[in-house]
């Protein structure tokens, strides 16, 4: 069991092109922590804060945040626009360095990448085919050719896009592109999936389908997921737990456990009275923050 502990790390070691974060045993800014126990959370943030200094103007993006996510949990993060959700996700990914606090991500060993990110915006290589996009991360990780092929084929089949293996991203719809991103992330078999509003840009029907597909894929793989969304419905349907952030500068305001059982049929869940209670409870926590964020926007607070 290996343990990664990052304390005020100064170097972004993440290969921006692949948007996956393979962590070698020795990384700049990553220092070995105490031996991990299987009972430790998969992700632990203690007093994490982030300020950006953009040309002398200080922006407090995340205020003291303490959070633990157990192994295999599907955690959803909701909060008003600009409250620091993406920043928090990027800190967990190792793409941003916190200005205060510490973050520990427990590795379970082996050669798997620690995390893989799926973004809201398109993040496929436009000059590569669907197949090459999915295979790329495996290539970077020096996965042997035959295994690369098998995994690429397996995940393209699972997301229903094997037929489009030789197409280019511009030939696909928005939903198909996000399915390629999902296949690419899962094919890497990361320990943690970090998803930043992956379905936000899609139409409602495509979104519903992809939510169902994601639930199925996650049900098989049971990865630890941190999923950012603006959508309360999505958070309840997908998550084991919903973490509500305050308006900017973001910190955790409330947590709601989604005790709806698994496997889930999203349509059945939506007609469950507990679904209504949960969405109301989350909105109760979120409403004031959304109003505050709107006021901030109008008055130009940063």
Ligand X SMILES: Nc1ncnc2c1ncn2[C@@H]1O[C@H](COP(=O)(O)OP(=O)(O)OP(=O)(O)O)[C@@H](O)[C@H]1O
Residues that bind ligand X (CB under 6 A): 52, 54, 59, 61, 79, 81-87, 248
User: Which residue lies nearer to ligand X by CB, 90 or 106?
Assistant: 90
Beta strand residue intervals within the chain, DSSP E? 2-7, 20-21, 31-32, 43-54, 57-69, 74-78, 100-107, 115-118, 192-196, 224-228, 241-245, 252-257
Within 10 angstroms of residue 7's Cβ, the number of other Cβ atoms is: 14
Q: Which stretch binds Mg ion (CB under 5 A): 78-86, 157-165, 172-180, 236-244?
A: 78-86
Tell me: does residue 116 bind Mg ion (CB under 5 A).
no
- 169 interacts with, out of ligand X, Mg ion, none, CB within 5 to 8 A per kind: none
The footprint of Mg ion on residues 119-148 (CB under 5 A) is none
Distance CA 166, CA 153 (A): 12
Q: Which stretch binds Mg ion (CB under 5 A): 81-89, 165-173, 210-218, 245-253?
A: 81-89
- 264 interacts with, out of Mg ion, ligand X, none, CB within 5 to 8 A per kind: none
Distance CA 171, CA 9 (A): 41
Q: Which stretch binds Mg ion (CB under 5 A): 66-74, 82-90, 104-112, 261-269?
A: 82-90
Least distance from ligand X to the Cβ atom of residue 226, Å: 13
User: Which residue lies nearer to ligand X by CB, 79 or 239?
Assistant: 79
Tell me: does residue 87 bind Mg ion (CB under 5 A).
no
Beta-carbon contacts of 26 under 8 Å, excluding residues fewer than 6 positions away, are: none
- 52 interacts with, out of ligand X, Mg ion, none, CB within 5 to 8 A per kind: ligand X
User: Which residue lies nearer to ligand X by CB, 154 or 297?
Assistant: 297
- 285 interacts with, out of Mg ion, ligand X, none, CB within 5 to 8 A per kind: none
Q: Which stretch binds Mg ion (CB under 5 A): 9-17, 84-92, 202-210, 256-264?
A: 84-92
Least distance from Mg ion to the Cβ atom of residue 20, Å: 19
User: Which residue lies nearer to Mg ion by CB, 129 or 229?
Assistant: 229
Distance CA 181, CA 213 (A): 13
Distance CA 250, CA 82 (A): 8
Q: Which stretch binds Mg ion (CB under 5 A): 83-91, 123-131, 158-166, 287-295?
A: 83-91
**Number of helical (H) and strand (E) elements in the chain, helices listed first:** 8, 12
Cis bond leading into 263, ω under 30°?
yes
CA angle 247, 57, 9 (to 5 degrees): 80
Distance CA 188, CA 113 (A): 7
Tell me: does residue 86 bind Mg ion (CB under 5 A).
yes
- 61 interacts with, out of ligand X, Mg ion, none, CB within 5 to 8 A per kind: ligand X
Q: What is the DSSP string of 166-211?
A: T--GGGS-HHHHHHHHHHHHHHT--SEEEEESTTTTS-HHHHHHHH
Footprint on this chain of Mg ion (rule: CB under 5 A): 86
């Amino acid at each position: 069991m290996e343990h990664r502990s990052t304390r005020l790390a100064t170097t972004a070691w993440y290969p921006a092109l692949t948007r996956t974060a393979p962590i070698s045993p020795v990384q700049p800014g990553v220092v070995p922590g105490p031996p991990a126990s299987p009972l430790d959370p998969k992700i632990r943030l203690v007093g994490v804060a982030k300020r950006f200094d953009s040309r002398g103007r200080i922006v407090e993006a995340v205020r003291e945040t303490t959070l633990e996510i157990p192994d295999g949990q599907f955690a959803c993060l909701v909060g008003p626009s600009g409250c620091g959700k993406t920043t928090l996700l990027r800190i967990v990914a190792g793409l941003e360095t916190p200005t205060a606090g510490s973050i520990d991500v427990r590795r379970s060993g082996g050669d798997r990448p620690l995390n893989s990110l799926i973004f809201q915006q398109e993040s496929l290589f436009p000059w590569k085919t669907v197949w090459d996009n999915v295979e790329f991360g495996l290539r970077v990780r020096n996965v042997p050719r035959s295994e690369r092929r098998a995994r690429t084929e397996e995940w393209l089949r699972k997301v229903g896009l094997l037929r489009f293996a030789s197409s280019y991203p511009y030939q696909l719809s928005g939903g198909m592109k996000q399915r390629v991103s999902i296949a690419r992330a899962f094919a890497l078999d990361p320990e943690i999936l970090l998803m930043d509003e992956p379905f936000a840009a899609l139409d409602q029907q495509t979104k519903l389908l992809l939510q169902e597909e994601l639930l199925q894929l996650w049900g098989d793989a049971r990865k630890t997921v941190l999923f950012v969304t603006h959508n309360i419905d999505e958070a309840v349907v997908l998550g084991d737990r919903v973490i509500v952030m305050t308006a900017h500068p973001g910190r955790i305001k409330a947590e709601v456990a989604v005790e709806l059982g698994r496997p889930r049929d999203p349509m059945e869940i939506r007609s469950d009275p507990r679904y209504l209670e949960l969405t109301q409870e989350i909105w109760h926590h979120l409403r004031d923050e959304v109003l505050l964020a709107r006021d901030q926007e109008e008055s130009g607070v940063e």
